[in-house]
Amino acid sequence: MRFLNTTTFELENRPQGGVHWDVYAVLSHRWLDEEVLFQNLGNYTIELRSGTRSLPQVEKIRGACAVAQAKGIKWLWMDTCCIDKTDSREYFEAINSMFSWYRNAKLCITYLYDVRRQDGQSAATGKETFRSVEGDSNEKGYSPANWFSRGWTFQELLAPREMEIYDMNWQYIGTKRQFAGALSDITRIDTRYITGEKDLSEAPIAMRMSWLYQRITTYPEDMAYCTLGIFNVNMPLVYGEGAPRAFRRLQETILGNPFMEESLFAWKMPDIRGGQECDVVTTGWEPGQWGLLAGSPQWFSESGDIQVDSNTDSQIRRFRLTPKGIEGPIRKKQTRDATINALSALVCLSVVCIPFGDCLLRSKFEKKATEDYAFTLNCFRIGTQEKVMIRLCPINIGKVLLTTHTPDGELVQAPYVECKRIRCDELVSGNESITHLGDGIVLQPRPRQ
């Protein structure tokens, strides 16, 4: 791990395992044009030590080092000049370790280049404190600091144990604990996750996904990569693969982890044609159809109030990634309506009618098996105990009815089935119970080659 000495402004390497959390600070900031990078830091050493040039990029480093020095902290880590981004191995390690680096720092120094603290504002803790000076002063809406709109600052807000916030002139604004309410209003993140009162692992996957709403990154793939620490996963970085493919790989990685829960599937398209922007093969897919994995973080924008039912009595359901899609216990229970009961009685009572009745009975079963149905997820919206439900439509039905037992011992019949999720612009709730009925596959659109 490479650090900037806050006194000499020189980089020094220290073994990552030998760095204790209380010996370094980290800088959280919004990148500007022509930042001081690892390759050219040496060109600015004189200016950093003397302060003879007032370039914003240089003054940002000087300001952060001054804050750290005042706290008795010798080392500063910042993503501009402490990473050699030309070394792919080092960059991969940094991206996958960044959350822990921010978490383990003694202090996170957050610099807001477009916020100016007003006189007498030190006692205020509302979101007006973070209004951007670059916003239109006549604008009725509220424009927070640009820092709040970036993807990478998402984890930089949540990871640090201690954070101090400074304005464009390095005037102290306050700590994130003091401003937890304002930060929550701006980001839609519960204050308990901002302050660390609750661990991020307690937040449902869908809720964490919703926090990405309206954030942007310079490189489209970074919308997935910037969340690796938030979900405590690692995955290779493949710049050039595109945002949809990167986001799909993120969800597949989450799916394969032991902590995976079903709110991963609790999303909805912004409209029925939402999938058209996801760079997938659309042949055979109608508007509003999709798989279980979302096409974009924006599809979770209305999932911020999703909670997982940790008290459910139903057995834990397992889902697995396959080449076609997601395999899991999604088979529909085969119900017996009045017609089926009558046909069954006819078959039983008359030997003559057995062939005819058996044919009708099978036809009736197959027709019912192709009806779309509500699939209940093990999660609910805050304020209601009704489970979140999505709709599945069988598109390939096995010819053989498979017999299985439900957890309560009921004997049911259900065909092997391949489904698609339909009406994906809906995410409804209901009181249907969760029942393990046996495995099937929910197909997933294939990425374009």
Confidence grade of residue 275 (pLDDT, cut at 50, 70, 90): confident
In a domain, 392, yes or no: yes
Q: Do 116 and 259 belong together in one domain? A: no
- Whether pLDDT at 150 is above 60: yes
In a domain, 82, yes or no: yes
Q: Do 185 and 302 belong together in one domain? A: no
Look up residue 369 and give its amino acid. Answer: A
User: Residue 123 contacts by C-beta under 8 Å, 6 or more apart in sequence?
Assistant: none
Q: Do 147 and 220 belong together in one domain? A: no
Give the mean model confidence (pLDDT) for residues 193-198.
97
Q: Do 443 and 378 belong together in one domain? A: yes
Select from 198, 219, 238 the last residue of a domain.
198
Q: What pLDDT score does 70 carry?
A: 97
Q: Do 265 and 144 belong together in one domain? A: no
For residue 12, the cross-strand partners are 3
Q: What pLDDT score does 119 carry?
A: 72
- Whether pLDDT at 361 is above 50: no
Q: What pLDDT score does 20 carry?
A: 60
In a domain, 79, yes or no: yes
- Range name among 44-48, 297-301, 352-356 with the lowest pLDDT average: 352-356
In a domain, 360, yes or no: no
Select from 175, 198, 221 the last residue of a domain.
198
Give the mean model confidence (pLDDT) for residues 157-179.
97
Confidence grade of residue 276 (pLDDT, cut at 50, 70, 90): confident
In a domain, 376, yes or no: yes
Q: 257 or 358: which carries more pLDDT confidence?
A: 257
Confidence grade of residue 118 (pLDDT, cut at 50, 70, 90): confident
In a domain, 77, yes or no: yes
Cα maximum dimension of the chain = 104
What is the spatial order of strands in the sheet that 163-166 belongs to? 11-13, 2-5, 75-77, 24-28, 107-111, 163-166, 172-175
- Whether pLDDT at 121 is above 80: no
**What are the tens digits of pLDDT across the range 68-105?**
999 999 999 999 999 999 999 999 999 999 999 999 99
In a domain, 23, yes or no: yes
Q: Do 125 and 182 belong together in one domain? A: yes
C-beta of residue 421 within 8 angstroms of C-beta of residue 290: yes
Q: Do 175 and 102 belong together in one domain? A: yes
Q: Do 449 and 408 belong together in one domain? A: yes
In whole angstroms, give the CA distance from residue 431 to residue 438.
Answer: 21
Q: Do 207 and 136 belong together in one domain? A: no
**What are the tens digits of pLDDT across the range 38-77?**
999 989 888 899 877 678 889 999 999 999 999 999 999 9
Specify the residue for token string 């998402």.
Answer: 154
Q: Do 138 and 230 belong together in one domain? A: no
In a domain, 153, yes or no: yes
Select from 198, 224, 240 the last residue of a domain.
198
- Which of 161, 188, 153 minimizes the C-alpha distance to 177? 161
For residue 108, the cross-strand partners are 26, 163
Q: Do 162 and 295 belong together in one domain? A: no
Q: What pLDDT score does 17 carry?
A: 60
Q: Do 420 and 437 belong together in one domain? A: yes
Number of domains in the chain: 2
Domain that holds residue 68: 2-198
